[in-house]
Structure 1
């Protein structure tokens, strides 16, 4: 099973995307529908809302008067929090029931309007954000839903900003154009990413990668992608982690790299590493078969456990190392030394591009050819660390 979080601001057209995904075969769990269900007449949820906000939020026939309640909560942050404290736990329990009823090979899309606002993004291996510009969203709310412009704008402004949603988005779907364009984008996402992602998770298979090293220009989004991945990992691994970091070339601003996010987890021992690796399927990562090993700068082989991406849209290497291995410190030292030395970044970039352009039979061969430079760089980094008083920060 693959669980996908779907969100977007009010008026962005999230329901259009959810409907198309359902047509393609997804199991859609709609938090808005559940939210209505848990405060229907006669439910404990509605009784709790009336107790908190008074009988003025009821219609004459005893149902929830949503416009009346909306005027209260969308103008007052404290009152909105009070409503959320009642409704969100009820919605969460019902969501879990529906997800649990889906089949083992399902792509479950959880349509949650406040996914970002409520800090739920780390609970999904993939998050889709549906976007439309604010002026278009406002037009839709006023013209299509008949809302008063001031009320519509208040609801828009009460939600997450575009920047906050971008930070959470693995997939950013623009729904500001023709419906056919949006449906085509959803179809491509379903075929090229969601279906193979689910199959890879179920079969514990790493998504395919290029057989040779391909060096990409520096991407400023790599840092954000690394933090998003680490949030998912930390949620799953919990207090088994001693530390977790984005390292490797994509963690160094301005450095060309293979488009692979490398993260490093430090744990107490290799048994813990194996346990964490097995659980990371919840974060969209699958453990690679057998135990892997590193060769440290002294030529000593060091065991580690390696997990990688099941998602064909984002390559990831997750290195899980024992705290007793010196390799984890070297990985952070090299990262921080490069960050502090732009000339070394240029030197390393030239080496990487040159080696990638040479014939090589595999990515492993490319990596082996870099080893002499990396060992020399670590020697320089050691001298810098001693002079600067560098320590791997928590």
Structure 2
């Protein structure tokens, strides 16, 4: 029998302490490990950067959630992305990225790796011909897919894009941060590598920064190359951060169910409002990716964006006027957050093809009482 998702989330890598019987595994707050003579390592542990039981427990948990062969935990989502890029690229290589991706991902590839000689093309991944054409460029090594995308909630067909990437001899990388493995399983759809900012839904409580990479079965060399980057560059998650992330993961399925229900309620309340030009949420039938999302995901998630009819001034006032939704960077916590992408999460891509319209506001819908969240956004709109 194969364990269900919630069972894996709670038990994978989380065996009780054999010494005391403690149901929660210990947090190993140690920088180094005593050896039984020179080279006599106990269970392979030598130094905290190279391995730690608490981090290993999280990595086992992450691999089980995503259906991967192995997972690696990092100090941040961007550190995880950096390890993937270092392990798979060299100067002269080419990356294809969706044109509605997280600004930090674009900044990392274009400005950090661009200076190293890596070329980047951004393209609408909903346009199959455009994606195929971009992948046909010389030395294309990675297709980087973010779905749902940040912040316009575009839905990309993971299976179809992975097939195009493989035809071009490239690896398909999927950023699964917005959906989480509770709602979407990219490896099962053909992805080679999955990345996460575990700061978001996996941690789920806005109290830890982290990132993860999960590698599909059959890609042992790729997995070893990324693991080498984790060890050699050293951007590992700390034991306490790993513990907090593991603890958050245990309620992931429950939380994502409530995030999705609450976001649906907020999106439906905003749809058709006189002050709203458009709602970007895949759970709405009018969303262009609704049918694909319904096939590819088991829920529509807790993220949505709105375009305000009154333009930038209205968008700024709305973002600063809510009571339950707190104005802050980040997403995916139990508390609801509101942000202004043009000046916050996507400030690094202003004046580029990835720039976000100034009338867009992004909502991370938490797990508070749905009626309170709906009332909060409607009251804020009434004050415009």
Shared fold (TM-score, shorter chain, > 0.5): no
What TM-score, normalized to structure 1?
0.26
More helix by share: 1
What TM-score, normalized to structure 2?
0.27
Question: Which of 1 and 2 has greater Rg?
Answer: 1
